[in-house]
Amino acid sequence: MLRHSGRRMRPSELPVADLLPSGIKRTHQRVRLKGGHKMAINKKYFKSKPTCKVTFSMDDQPKDSVKAVHVVGEFNNGSISANPMKRLQKGGFSTNLELEKGKEYQFRYLLDNTHWDNDPKADKSVPTPFGDSFNSVIVL
């Protein structure tokens, strides 16, 4: 449990902020996803390339509760449309990105263009520059 404004809260209940470019309004709503979403990050390092193939995935529980998911982060300059995750036949979402090795990238998931979520499977999390929420971090 974490504390925010003197109240004990789970990480999924913390106020969310975004990585959006300037000019787009930040949200400060509290998000608690019903049923929770299982997430996974898989890394595949290439010997012959200076990149790593990263697979971001999220299940869809309860089924069809989420219609669209995007990965938004430093690797796409905070674009909310650059990296949509594909819906899988068995439910859930997934996307693959090739990212440069030797770097850390902050990111979050944008669900249905309304709710932000962090990845509990991320290598670490850091406070946002706004100080009201956290970003997930992947280390390559």
Range from 23-27, 45-49, 58-62, 98-102 carrying the lowest mean pLDDT: 23-27
Angle at 41 between CA 34 and CA 16, to 5 degrees: 45
Enter the pTM of the model.
0.71
- Where is mean pLDDT largest: 54-63, 95-104, 122-131? 95-104
For residue 94, give every residue at least 6 positions away whose Cβ sits within 8 Å of its Cβ, in sequence order, or none.
55, 56, 57, 58, 85, 86, 88
Q: Rounded CA gap, 48 and 25, in Å?
A: 42
Beta strand 104-111 with 115-117 is antiparallel
In the CATH scheme, what architecture does the domain 2-139 have? Sandwich (2.60)
Give me the amino acid identity at 33. Answer: L
Range from 15-19, 102-106, 134-138 carrying the lowest mean pLDDT: 15-19
- pLDDT band, very low/low/confident/very high, at 1 (cuts 50, 70, 90): very low
Q: Rounded CA gap, 138 and 121, in Å?
A: 9
